[in-house]
A and B are shown apart, each in its own frame.
Chain A
Amino acid sequence: EAQVTQNPRYLITVTGKKLTVTCSQNMNHEYMSWYRQDPGLGLRQIYYSMNVEVTDKGDVPEGYKVSRKEKRNFPLILESPSPNQTSLYFCASSLWGVGTSRTGELFFGEGSRLTVL
């Protein structure tokens, strides 16, 4: 089954304790992305990657790191979490390229709800 898997789904942590949210996809997609969703603010992109070893900042990258060492995985790292990073996080993946055969829809994971105390 084609899917994007995020872990953990729920996490409560404390300020300053490093954490990693993993994301894995089994569709051989080039493109992967992280979003955060906060009430009234819609979806905001944190980082994205158009292929292995290629990453770029989205709209709200501060306080986050990513890496793309393998095509299937795109972990989100919070080196020193703060309460303003309490949010619902989504990972997504897609085919990537130009033209109709390389433009697919985004597939989303089920989300990771993070609370930083």
Chain B
Amino acid sequence: AQSVAQPEDQVNVAEGNPLTVKCTYSVSGNPYLFWYVQYPNRGLQFLLKYITGDNLVKGSYGFEAEFNKSQTSFHLKKPSALVSDSALYFCAVRDGGNYGQNFVFGPGTRLSVLP
């Protein structure tokens, strides 16, 4: 069965410092991985995805994520955090080789960037 773990409920970082939001996954087939961000009172917005190819993927708002197959991880990163990055972040996975396999979301990590 597929699963996604986000080991930290909350991440605090100072503005201007690098940030990392962690995600590990379990899937039997080809992992297709996604990051979403949710700002207060808004729907989830797509940030970036890994489907195939380069392990480092770049997305919206200066975010990037690194796919590590051996560690089954897909950590979200940004070199320099902004206060406006404060939000709830969700990691999701789907087995791209399995038609019947659904999306699975992690529990979310709340990022607070302190001025």
In the complex, A45→B90 CA distance in Å?
Answer: 14
| Interface: A43 (CB within 8 A) | yes
The answer to whether residues A100 and B96 also contact, given A43-B105, A106-B34 and a CB cut-off of 8 A, is yes
Looking at A33, A50, A58, A103, the one whose CB has the most chain B CB atoms below 10 A away is A103
Q: Does A63 contact B (CB under 8 A)?
A: no
B52 at the A interface (CB under 8 A): yes
Task: Verify B107–A106 contact, CB threshold 8 A.
Answer: no
Cα separation A99 to B90 with both chains bound (whole Å)? 23
A113 to chain B, nearest CB (A): 9
Q: Let me know if B43 and A99 touch, CB within 8 A.
A: no
Count of A interface residues, CB-CB < 8 Å: 24
Q: Decide yes or no whether B61 CB sits under 8 A from chain A.
A: no
Using a Cβ–Cβ cut-off of 8 Å, how many residues does chain B contribute to the interface with A? Answer: 26
Asked whether A106 lies within 8 Å of B92 as measured between CB atoms, the reply is yes
Interface pair A109/B43, CB less than 8 Å apart: yes
Q: Are B32 and A110 in contact (CB under 8 A)?
A: no
| Nearest CB of A to B108, in Å | 5
Q: Are B44 and A103 in contact (CB under 8 A)?
A: no
Q: Is A48 an interface residue (CB 8 A)?
A: yes
| Contact across chains for B34 and A108 when beta carbons are under 8 A apart | no
Query: How distant is the Cα of A47 from the Cα of B53 in the complex, in angstroms?
Result: 32
Residues in A lying within 8 Å of B, measured CB to CB: 4, 33, 42-43, 45, 48, 50, 58, 90, 92, 94, 96-100, 103, 105-111
17 intermolecular pairs with C-beta atoms under 8 Å apart: A4-B43, A42-B105, A42-B108, A43-B44, A48-B102, A50-B99, A58-B102, A92-B44, A98-B96, A98-B97, A100-B51, A103-B32, A103-B94, A106-B34, A109-B43, A110-B43, A111-B43
